[in-house]
Amino acid sequence: MIVEGFLKYLQYEKRFSVHTTDAYKVDLEQFSVFLRSQYEIVEPAIIQHIHIRSWAVSLMEQKYSASSIRRKLSTLKSYFRFLQREQVITRSPMLQVSLPKLGKRLPSVVPEQYLEQMLNAIDPADDYEKLRNQLVVELCYLTGMRRGELVNLKVSDLNLSAFTIKVLGKGNKERLIPISHATATLLRQYLDLRQQTFPNTPELALLLTKDGKAAYAKLIYRIVKDSLSTITTQEKRSPHVLRHSFATHLSDHGADLNAIKELLGHSSLAATQIYTHHSIERLKKIYQQAHPKSGAQ
């Protein structure tokens, strides 16, 4: 299978992140192994829709979720479209394959009062790691940044006098995120302590490890998970949960959907609309509990 050219196309022409490109690579390798083992197929021109459907059934039998199977089939859809462009095939076998339907699943969100409780309980620290961890949690929740965006944040991306942070999002699209005076104060405190702790560091990254090196994705995940574990027992306790919480709480308080879209760096409004469902569900519960004609017991 002509995979390397496709992966380079994703990375350099489509400007997909390394993480996304790796996910495509894993999906294609898994499909390739299936084709060789089940049908002895190695050339993409031989692949037919029945082979793809057979793989989908195999994934179902392995207990993959509908969303995972859908993502893997979407990978194939993009791959075969690329092969058509390169004139390796004349017609995509995916034209006769339907993606499995997904039930609507709302994103995991931490209740607003729990997060307020956690943030209010954090004492200003003069210990570098403690202050950095506090900053990580606050930036995730108060700006809605993705984990990768936070990891890639540089000191030069801060404009504390204008109360904004410049973020490089998906597709190398830049956006400005406003911050509060309190967050700007926390950032100044952190920058002072960062300079005191690592006076000679050449690192441009805003967030550093305890050894003065650029922070990495797993560290950010661990910091957030440990912090959320102090206020909730819900299964998902990740930076993305804080991003979901940021958007949902904005929606709950009546923020314009287009404004939320811009803050999150979504390319389309469709991706942002999921956050209105939480607000609607919340209103339904309030109605059922409070309205005399709602039918609630």
What residues are annotated to the active site?
146, 170, 240, 243, 266, 275
Asked if 119 contacts 138 with a C-beta cutoff of 8 angstroms, the reply is: yes
Asked if 53 contacts 12 with a C-beta cutoff of 8 angstroms, the reply is: no
Asked if 277 contacts 270 with a C-beta cutoff of 8 angstroms, the reply is: no
Asked if 272 contacts 247 with a C-beta cutoff of 8 angstroms, the reply is: yes
- Quote the CA–CA distance of 92 and 76 in Å, as a whole number: 9
- Write the CB contacts of 135 (distance below 8 Å, at least 6 apart in sequence): 186, 187, 190, 207
- Quote the CA–CA distance of 1 and 297 in Å, as a whole number: 61
- Quote the CA–CA distance of 207 and 140 in Å, as a whole number: 13
Give phi and psi for 159, each to the nearest 5: -130, 85
- Quote the CA–CA distance of 169 and 149 in Å, as a whole number: 6
Asked if 264 contacts 247 with a C-beta cutoff of 8 angstroms, the reply is: yes
